[in-house]
Amino acid sequence: MRIAKFALCAGLLVACSRKAPEKTPAPSAKSAPVEAVKPDAGAKPQAAAKQDAGFDSSAFTGTVRGIVKLAQGASLPLAPPVLSHGAKPPSVKPCPEVDASDRRVVSRYNETGGLSPIHIALTGMKTVPPAEPKTHELFIDACRLRPTLVGARKGDLIKLTNRSEMALVPQLPGSSFMRGLMRGESQEFEAKQTQTHVQCSFGSYCGETLVVAVKHPFYDVTTEQGFFTIEHVPLDQELAVYAWHPLFNESYVKFQLSKDKPEQMIEILLTPAPPKAVEQARKEQADEFDRTLPDGGPLPSKSRVVVKKSQPTK
């Protein structure tokens, strides 16, 4: 027993002194970017949304609420098999070994049919209100990163805390050296890229979290029941709300709020992305998700999802 503990401590010591290998931005499914969604012929691309410190707050009083569900007849997809150099990643006791549950990264709530976690974001805004950076909590519980998807604004901080019994070595962006986190210890990093994968690449496996960061505050991640809410939405602008996850094809709905209709309830349906496309995107390590959320970029020419009639908010 003492020998095993000594080996683990020695491994962590080595990990702390080794330089972390550089990694490209986290991947996205080939079907996730809006490559198939093109602006109307002859339409001029909109200018990128600008942050205006003197923006008119009275124009940002709308609210979009909704739910994300599976399309009819679709099945809940599983993440690709968890492999490390072609084999199952190592697990050091008391951490559990990798099993089928590690591939179930998206859940469906029975009562509502809603999916979670799904990233939600708006596009088409002409201006973006200023905002102070926020700190988002990320945890390692029982040797697994939770939640598996975090939404943020670029420049926000992600605070990772290890609440597991044993020390773990997460690989975080911006760190020159991998650092072992004992139980109760935390480490922060800035969300600079559109996609960032957080995982333990040394020692015991600890799962994986995808941090999705956009350039505006109009984003959310669906709740356990599949619901989302985005407030302070600009009025009198044609916008689109996107639902995205690397295991699904992107889907969106166009809408427009006004003083007479400042709120809208939307239902978005998702279909699983082809498994080969998901795996290929991970291999290529391409940060193509930026095109899914162009700040003020061209809107889709057609909406693939039916916009539900506005419903009063309870």
Residue by residue, DSSP assigns 188-203 as EEE--SSEEEEEEEES
Confidence of residue 36 (pLDDT cuts 50, 70, 90): very low
Residues 294-309, mean pLDDT to the nearest whole number: 42
Note whether 211 and 242 are within 8 A (CB).
no
Q: What is the pLDDT of residue 131?
A: 85
**pLDDT of residue 245 exceeding 80:** yes
With contact defined as beta carbons under 8 Å apart, do 173 and 182 qualify? no
Q: What are phi and psi of 239, to 5 degrees?
A: -120, 170
Using CA atoms, how far apart are residues 177 and 187, in angstroms rounded to an integer? Answer: 12
Q: Which of 263, 237, 269 is nearest to 251 (CA)?
A: 269
Which of 288 and 135 is assigned the larger pLDDT?
135
| Distance in angstroms (rounded) separating the CA atoms of residues 190 and 199 | 16
Question: Other CB atoms closer than 10 Å to residue 145's CB: what's the count?
Answer: 23
Average pLDDT of the residues in 156-160: 97
| Distance in angstroms (rounded) separating the CA atoms of residues 96 and 90 | 10
pLDDT at 129: 85
Interval 4-24 mean pLDDT: 42
The residue-averaged pLDDT of 147-169 equals: 96
Q: Are the C-beta atoms of 279 and 244 separated by less than 8 Å?
A: no
Give the percent of the chain with pLDDT over 70. Answer: 70
pLDDT of residue 229: 98
Taking alpha carbons only, the member of 37, 67, 61 closest to residue 308 is 67
Cα distance between residue 105 and residue 114, in whole Å: 14
Q: Return the pLDDT at 284.
A: 60
Going by pLDDT thresholds of 50, 70 and 90, the confidence category of residue 232 is very high
> Residue 44 pLDDT > 60, yes or no?
no
pTM greater than 0.95 (yes/no): no
Q: Coil, strand, or helix at residue 96?
A: coil
Instruction: Please say if the pLDDT value at position 277 is more than 50.
Output: yes
Tell me the average pLDDT of the chain: 78
Q: How far apart are CA 283 and CA 287, in angstroms?
A: 12
Residue 153: Cβ within 10 Å count: 19
Mention every residue, 6+ apart, whose C-beta is less than 8 A from residue 66. 120, 227, 228, 241, 265, 266, 267, 268
How much is the pLDDT for 283? 65
The structure tokens listed for 14 are: 């080595």
Q: Is 236 left (phi over 0), alpha (psi -120 to 50) or beta?
A: left
143 vs 207: CA distance, rounded Å: 7
Task: Check whether 243 has a pLDDT greater than 80.
Answer: yes
What is the SS3 assignment for 290? helix
Please write the tens of the pLDDT for every residue from 69-122: 999 999 999 998 887 767 888 898 999 999 999 999 999 999 999 999 999 999
Contact 266, 286 (CB under 8 A): no
Q: What is the mean pLDDT of residues 144-165?
A: 97
Q: What is the mean pLDDT of residues 273-278?
A: 86
What's the confidence (pLDDT) of residue 187? 94
Give the pLDDT of residue 309.
Answer: 41
Q: Above 60 in pLDDT, residue 35?
A: no
- Cβ atoms of 287 and 26 within 8 Å: the answer is yes
